[in-house]
Homo-oligomer: A and B are copies of this chain.
């Protein structure tokens, strides 16, 4: 078999992260991505660090393997060209502020008439409905407004951001689910549809048990550092040298854990005899465990836990992550040969499907308009002379 989306063409009007990360996933699944960029400015994230030999690795790491065409949507000819492309594509992805496509006279009501089979996916900060729909959004805003910052980190220290752009990337993933589901539905109905994913909505969807904890307890859940709110012991402990983590997820594991630590008396301790009690009495439990673990190095405890089958791990920095034999065996670091910056490793595709063998190499990210000839001449049939004219007129 081949890649699942190998016959799919995606017109990608999106910039920065939430949209481009979504189309990167579609690209990894085989879709052809035509990235539409402003002729002069291009994607904002071309200016985001980190840089290597003055090339944005940020941009590279989410736009590899895409094709780029330049197009100024504000010019009437630009709009016309986009409509021609829309006739030929299966999916359109945009992450403008809601209303922007309508300002360009390119709202879904119009595009739907031109290509009723097309799936129109919009990712935005707050969504295409509701009182705050039009407000500007960035990841930090939805992490703050969506509650995740209130349950991450430590009490009595400043609010903590999740160390990656969780607001954007979660929305990307939900959008990719919606697009694939809509592609499946189109096979049945012959029709496309509009998908509207808000970064803020995505944050609510992944809060896990925080919403129900609030309802059960009547107070907002607080940040818990590195422990799980309802499973115990399930957290990081400090050994004599480093921190390490353990996950004692059920009562069987608890029994094994107590025996491994040579503390059989804990098994019969009524404060700890099931998960619920261990969570209620976590302070008492940690009063015992913390000094105990502090007595020997992390390597000692990890070896002991491994032997007994207790889920455990060291806490890796990025350098260690990139050398992890399991991740290397899973092809989770793929190479991009960037013409200027050289060979760079980026994350591989975590969706391992038996229909195709994933490559360990990705194509570089495109220059602005690098694929103008391929798309405008070969696909739309424009002449090269006309292309030069469009370029002079600032349309492409």
Q: Identify 30 residue pairs between A and B in the complex whose beta-carbon atoms are under 8 Å apart, listed by A's number.
A: A7-B188, A25-B177, A57-B212, A130-B327, A130-B329, A140-B226, A144-B245, A144-B313, A144-B316, A145-B321, A152-B152, A157-B157, A158-B225, A159-B236, A161-B226, A169-B208, A176-B177, A177-B351, A180-B180, A181-B183, A182-B355, A184-B187, A187-B187, A197-B350, A200-B330, A211-B318, A213-B318, A215-B344, A220-B318, A221-B317
**Quick check: B141 and A206 within 8 Å, CB to CB?**
no
Interface contact B202-A324, CB-CB below 8 Å:
no
Contact at B327–A200, with CB atoms within 8 Å? yes
Query: Are A173's CB and B162's CB within 8 A?
Result: no
Whether A150 touches B329, Cβ cut-off 8 Å, given contacts A227-B161, A313-B145, is no
- Give the distance to chain B from A64, nearest Cβ to Cβ, in Å: 11
Q: List the B side residues contacting A213 at CB < 8 Å.
A: 49-50, 57, 318
A146 beta carbon closer than 8 Å to chain B? yes
User: Contact at A243–B139, with CB atoms within 8 Å?
Assistant: no
Interface digits, A311-341 against B, CB 8 Å rule (1 contact, 0 not)? 1111111111110111101101100000000
A173 contacts B164, CB within 8 Å?
A: no
List 10 additional A-B contacts (Cβ < 8 Å) besides A142-B313, A159-B226.
A51-B216, A143-B245, A144-B316, A160-B160, A163-B221, A163-B223, A185-B355, A189-B355, A204-B332, A205-B349
Q: Mark A256-296, 1 if CB is under 8 A from B, else 0.
A: 00000000000000000011100100000000000000000
Q: CA of A276 to CA of B217 in the docked complex: distance in angstroms?
A: 45
Q: Give the Cβ gap from A135 to chain B, nearest Cβ, in Å.
A: 8
Q: How far is the CA of A230 from the CA of B52 in the complex (A)?
A: 14
Neighbouring B residues of A320 by C-beta, 8 Å? 147, 220
Could you tell me the distance in whole angstroms from the C-beta of A345 to the nearest C-beta in chain B?
A: 6
With the chains together, A331 CA to B173 CA distance in Å?
A: 19
Residues of B within 8 A of A52 (CB): 212, 215-216
State the Cβ distance, A334 to closest chain B Cβ, in Å. Answer: 11
Q: List the B residue with the shortest CB-CB distance to A234.
A: B140
| Chain B residues with CB below 8 A from A327, complex form | 130, 200-201, 204
> Which among B187, B193, B249, B313 is the interface contact of A355 at CB below 8 angstroms?
B193
Judge whether A138 is part of the interface by a CB distance below 8 angstroms: yes
> For the complex, is A224 an interface residue (Cβ under 8 Å from B)?
yes
User: What residues of B have a CB within 8 angstroms of the CB of A197 in the complex?
Assistant: 350-352
Q: Is the CB of A247 within 8 A of B164?
A: no
- Assess whether A170 is interfacial by the CB under 8 Å rule: yes
